[in-house]
Chain A
Amino acid sequence: MRNLIKTQFNFFGNQNTSIPMLRLLKLELQKLLLNRASKVLIFISFILPFFVIILSSLRIDFFGLFVLELGHYGLFNFPIVWHITTFFAAQFKFFFAIVVVSMIGNEYSNKTIKQNLIDGLSKKEFILSKFYTIVFFSAVATLLIFIICLCIGLFYSSINEWSLIFRDTEFLLAYFVKLVGFFSLCLFLGMLVKRSAFALAFLFMLFIVEWIVYGLMVWKIDETTATRIQNFFPLKSMWKLIDQPFQRIAISKMPNSQAIIYDFAVHWYEIAIVLGWTAIFIFLSYRLLKKRDL
């Protein structure tokens, strides 16, 4: 593990680079990777998506009655594999969310945020170093998912036409944006309450509040308008990016059933909403830090 970190640092170069972005990223990576707890969590959040591979090769024999073999249902064929894998992999984002809130919480509890600023880091650079790290980890996670999907898809489907294989890869973009948006929200909550555990509690409360507001709107207005408004809420808009794939699977099995047709595509406006929230969260984090006396 230690060697792994060493090579990772060497990869970015030991000397101080003139590119400000790399300097800030290296700074944050050193803080994270030398901490055992966050190192383990990062490792887990990268490893867990690989379980989709195990899931795909799962073969359950129900006492000789019938055999459940997920791979044989066409779930891992192109292009649906992009949708299914990104949907399930996105559920593992919680592990890195813990890392994000604790990387703020630790800075406050160790008072190292104060020391960083005194040493000559600006408040803007402090927030940016966290944000670059979020983008970096989301990018790595997306790259991993891309590789996993490609391997599973190539293994299970007989398609070898590149245009078909890379159809629906917008789900990868959606996955990336979803991660960046969600972690930015965590960053903001971390900055807001300064304690990791409370930040996670706030996240859960936000989830509940969103549904309560939705419920009230359904009650007072009507369901379609309520849903339309709810799609602008931070957590819901992130969830909406990659719609659940179950109905799509059902449709692919029963092509004639018109009743369950739904819109599962990734739309530009869904991405725009989440990017908007990301910008707001990062900006608010910066404002908070700027106004605060440490």
Chain B
Amino acid sequence: MESILTINNLTKKFGYLTAVKDLSFTIHKGNVYGILGPNGSGKSTTLGIVLNVVNKTEGNFHWFDGKVSTHNALKKVGAIIERPNFYPYMTAEQNLKLVCRIKGVDHSKIYEKLEVVGLLDRKNHKFSTYSLGMKQRLAIASALLNDPEILILDEPTNGLDPQGIHQIRQIIKDIAITGTTILLASHLLDEVEKVCTHVVVLRKGEKLYSGRVDEMISSHGFLELKAQQQDVLLNVLKSNATFGNISVENDLIKVILKEPMDASSFNKLMFENGIILSHLVKRKESLEEQFLKLTDHSNEQNAKLN
């Protein structure tokens, strides 16, 4: 598979603070990637390094096949980080013209991209008169000007109202459908879950997980059960190798499946054992639960080390 961005053992230190620690991952063409992590986990720093605005301390990265310089590679990249940065005294069209000049793109793309984000009728208004949502949409138009190989978005819905969030997400989905590779950094899990196929999870600058989202979400899901004969039920579950970790919250039993099993065959098994269930739900773990598990797990490890 064609690689777009390769990061090897990247480290960034701000004085005593290590913002990014020995990070490695590769981004392949055609996928939608999410970088997930709580605030201060090194997402923006990592993006800053590959985008030529933050200097790395150690390690290396290269764009595409590694033969072009970073700033020339960035001409084939579209990126928005943090807040949209434009010249307040210029109109939307003038701002985009300037970006065209930097990227070496023809001006003819400007109207097309303004249309995509729904700002064509405001093209002659000064940037300073725009609302935050409009500014963010202009930033997306600007990032799309060169029909980029990869679109990088850092917290694109941060600070927007629900309507703005919805608009931005819809635009991202539309872009993803066209086959553009996307790298989305966010601390909002459902955002990543909704649009991403692959995910890199960071915590305190360290990589906890990288791979497909559906593989990260535990493979066979889990069951939520309720029954009158709770003790019998627990014994049955414990004696069967199909079932993994069992947890009991009040009268609700949560059991993780080690092997695939659908709800009806489970129900049949229970019936054969003489147990009548009053509640049976089969669920896949959400990214949020998985994420918390991952971060908790490393917390425990840290605690042990200490």
A interface residue numbers (CB < 8 A to B) = 14-16, 23, 26-27, 30-31, 34-36, 106, 110-112, 114-123, 125, 290-294
Contacts and interface: CB of A to CB of B under 8 A. Distances in A.
Interface stretch (B88-96, B207-215, B232-240, B258-266): B88-96
A118 B79 contact: yes
B53 A110 contact: no
Given A15-B106, A16-B106, A123-B71, 15 more contacts: A27-B98, A30-B94, A30-B98, A34-B89, A110-B85, A110-B86, A110-B87, A116-B102, A118-B52, A119-B102, A119-B142, A120-B73, A122-B52, A125-B71, A292-B55
Contact of B53 (A23, A31, A117): A117
Contacts, number: 86
A114 B87 contact: no
B74 A294 contact: no
B107 interface: yes
Contacts of B83: 111
**Listed residue (A14, A116, A121) with the most chain B CB atoms within 10 angstroms of its CB:** A121
B52 A117 contact: yes
A40 B90 CA distance: 16
A119 B103 contact: yes
B75 interface: yes
Nearest to B76: A120
A293 B48 contact: yes
B209 to A, nearest CB: 27
A80 to B, nearest CB: 44
Contact of A110 (B81, B88, B97, B103): B88
A124 to B, nearest CB: 9
Interface string B58-84: 000000000001011111010101010
B101 interface: yes
Contacts of B77: 120
Nearest to A111: B85
Report, nearest first, the 5 A-B pairs whose CB atoms are least far apart: A120-B75, A122-B71, A120-B74, A115-B85, A111-B85
A121 B71 contact: yes
